[in-house]
Chain A
Amino acid sequence: MTAEPRQFADDVPGELFDPHDPRPQILMCPPDHYGVEYEINPWMKRDQPPDHALAVRQWTDLRQVLSDAGAKILLQKPVRGLPDLVFTANAAMIYRREAMLARFRFSERQGEEQYDAQWLLASGFHVHRLPNDVYFEGAGDALFCGDTLFAGYRIRSDVRGLQQIGELFRCRVIALELVDPYYYHLDTCFCPLAPGMAVYFPEAFDQYGRDVLKELVPELIPIAEAEARRFACNAVVVGRTVVTNTGCPSLHRKLTELGFTPRETPLDEFTKAGGSAKCLTLRLDGEEAAKWKSA
């Protein structure tokens, strides 16, 4: 692992991360160049392209819902030819002021890495990279719940990289094998809500993974397949507000019971590429469920 030399690019637009701002800060990337231009997961069908105008509207609505929930939205400049740059969750994994940059498994997305690194460096993060042959897809596959980092592997990220992240950040890393290609990132089937509390889609994990999650997450809420397919687990948690795609009524009822405020906003144009609310965001000041955030 090498630390990226710090450099400030002039062309990074808009506001950067402010470590002194107490508000939740989320990185998003406008969907100017979003589309399904290749197929690297089972959701993607080039012959069923998203409606661009509708995608822009859905993205703008999500941004508004998150702002309403109290988040400050920071923007990354979209880049032509990088349609998935819109899924900022995969840019990196954030731990305090450290960012472990993604190394994408598919060459189609590897072009995103330099822009992600640029933005994070400009925002004052200390950017780390894994060795070139070790794949890792950022917060899409690495989510803190309490003081443990839960990490998905095998479909996109390599288990080897996860071990190295654990050594670098001195934290426990629980590697969970993902077994269903529809749930190719951990954030499509597991969402920490608070320390010790998470929702998950059991069938996305093997028996070992399910046993581990039951053992280590005291309040573990299973999601039924119908809602998992609606990306119920791909939720954004801002304070006590939980934002998901539409079509997750059971989860929303459960969240209300637990004292959360569920919000839904349609994101179907993005599920066509295999992403939803969480994939479209990167929490920069630490997820609500990360214990280090409050420690």
Chain B
Amino acid sequence: MSTPRTAIAPGTGQFTEQVQISGHIIDSLILPKVLDIITASGGNFRLERITIGQARQDPSFAVIEVSAPTAELLDEILAQISDHGAIPTAQQDCQLVTADMDGAFPEGFYSSTNQRTEIRLGGEWIEVEDQEMDCGVMVAPPAHRARCVPMTEVNSGTQWVVGHAGVRVFPTERTNERQGFEFMSSGVSTEKPKGVAIRQIAQELFQNRRSGKQSLLVGGPAIVHTGSVEHVARLIRGGYINKLFAGNALATHDIEQALFGTSLGVHLDRGDVVEAGHEHHLRAINRIRRAGGIRQAVAEGILKSGIMYECIQGNVDFLLAGSIRDDGPLPEVVTDVLEAQRLMREKSRGISFCLMIATALHSIAVGNLLPAWVKVVCVDINPSTVIKLSDRGSIQTVGLVTDVEPFLRALVQELELLDRGAT
């Protein structure tokens, strides 16, 4: 190994290399031996991942980051530990195994992250397409292409990456994004100056529209309950939202309001409960079902305002994903969750900005699908929704703990200011 090393861990003055080791490395004491060799030689290690085999015959697996103060020493250590099976993950081709059944990965499959990833095939690094966390990486060898595919879509006979060898991940450099997205630097907080944050979100949406990129809104019914329908309608009319993901509830209450002026029976203008208003959302669903769908209801002049109306009018692609507690549902609701997930995956490709408002369920579902480089802003009155998203690995998520209506009102105002400035 004589290639000059450039892998220096930022700020540490250390040269680093990631190695992987597998086998019965615990029972045979090979893992402790390798770690002892590293430290005895003057290097350091960090166990990045370790998977212990469950049954006696199951191999264990460890990914170790080895570091040393000089490149020469690092090379020396790597040469020593390679004799014991600890091989740099970057210096080998990825290992492929053929799927032996439909709907399940081969054992030992590489589980993807949402970070940009490359795999090594025939000595060449290839970028993994459709980057998504918690998937497998399928390889089509003749075309030399690799992409993330979920478990349910595995077909017997296809080729899958197993282990960590020949796989490298490029974590998103948050610091590079600071200028455009400065409030990212702090986590979820109720104490943030929201004005600044909202202004930056407005700038993101504005820039995205200007450069022809796609923005996605993932929304919950609280948008309607809090009286924010008109704000969202204005965002759609302004061309700031290109896609909408929601559930049956958002669409139902939006249509209920359009048809009856209430949301869950509460009159949104006056705040009082309407007589038999609790039936309104069911009557709304029923009317749309009688029309054959939201699109038909708009065409027939039954539905004349609201978020769903604006989506139809503005040609905004929407996906309504069903859940177990749905009333109706509306005809457009996709009730097969796997199909809904598949559509969500398909429609989220190419999204570069995502605004998640007041929905834990749909936000987490979408957060799981998006690659790490897509900017995500999660707005919720409940901090736990935002924290849940971050905990699930959607590290690109910026949280804003605030009531939905004032947020959307301010966002629309900021966008109008930007619009006026631009013209």
Report A's interface with B, CB cutoff 8 A: 147, 154, 159-160, 162-163, 166-167, 170-177, 206, 208-209, 211-212, 216
Contacts and interface: CB of A to CB of B under 8 A. Distances in A.
Interface stretch (B28-36, B174-182, B255-263, B277-285): B28-36
A128 B170 CA distance: 37
B326 to A, nearest CB: 46
A166 B57 contact: yes
16 contacts: A147-B57, A154-B84, A159-B23, A166-B24, A166-B59, A167-B59, A172-B24, A172-B56, A173-B24, A175-B23, A175-B30, A176-B28, A177-B84, A208-B28, A208-B32, A208-B33
A175 B24 contact: yes
Contact of B24 (A174, A177, A209): A174
A147 B56 CA distance: 10
A176 B87 CA distance: 18
Contacts of A177: 33, 84
Given A172-B24, A176-B28, A159 B84 contact: yes
Contact of B57 (A159, A162, A172, A212): A172
A163 B85 contact: yes
Nearest to A163: B23
A209 B32 CA distance: 12
A172 B84 CA distance: 17
Contacts of A216: 27
Nearest to A173: B24
B396 interface: no
B83 interface: yes
Nearest to B56: A172
Given A159-B23, A208-B33, 20 more contacts: A147-B57, A159-B85, A160-B87, A166-B24, A166-B57, A172-B56, A172-B57, A173-B23, A173-B24, A173-B28, A174-B27, A175-B24, A175-B28, A175-B85, A177-B33, A208-B29, A208-B32, A212-B28, A212-B29, A216-B27
Interface string B118-153: 000000000000000000000000000000000000
B181 to A, nearest CB: 44
Interface in B9-27: 22-24, 27
A177 B30 CA distance: 9
B418 to A, nearest CB: 58
A159 B22 CA distance: 10
The winner among A170, A171, A208, A211 for most chain B CB atoms within 10 A is: A208
Given A175-B24, A175-B85, A159 B59 contact: no
A159 B21 CA distance: 10
B59 to A, nearest CB: 6
Interface of B is mostly: loop
Contacts of A206: 33
Sorted nearest first, the 8 A-B pairs with minimum C-beta distance are A163-B23, A159-B85, A208-B29, A174-B28, A208-B33, A175-B28, A172-B57, A170-B57
Interface string B33-72: 1000000000000000000000011010000000000000
A20 to B, nearest CB: 28
Contacts of B84: 154, 159, 177
Contacts of A175: 23-24, 28, 30, 85
B58 to A, nearest CB: 8
Nearest to B53: A172
A70 B57 CA distance: 33
B27 A172 contact: yes
Contacts of A172: 24, 27, 56-57
A46 B84 CA distance: 32
A55 to B, nearest CB: 35
A162 B23 contact: yes
Nearest to A206: B33
Contacts of B56: 147, 172
B76 to A, nearest CB: 17
Contacts of A173: 23-24, 28
A235 B83 CA distance: 28
Contact of A212 (B23, B27, B85, B87): B27
Nearest to A167: B59
B85 A211 contact: no
The winner among B24, B32, B56, B83 for most chain A CB atoms within 10 A is: B24
B59 A163 contact: yes
Contacts of B29: 208-209, 211-212
Nearest to A177: B84
Contacts of B28: 173-176, 208, 212
A173 B23 CA distance: 7
Interface string B73-110: 00000000001110100000000000000000000000
Contacts of A166: 23-24, 57, 59
Contacts of B24: 166, 172-175
Nearest to A150: B28
A159 B83 contact: yes
Nearest to B92: A160
Nearest to B36: A208
A154 B23 contact: no
A128 to B, nearest CB: 16
B57 A171 contact: yes
A208 B24 CA distance: 14
A159 to B, nearest CB: 4
Contacts of A174: 24, 27-28
Nearest to A160: B85
A116 B56 CA distance: 31
Contacts of A170: 57
B89 to A, nearest CB: 14
Contacts of B30: 159, 175, 208
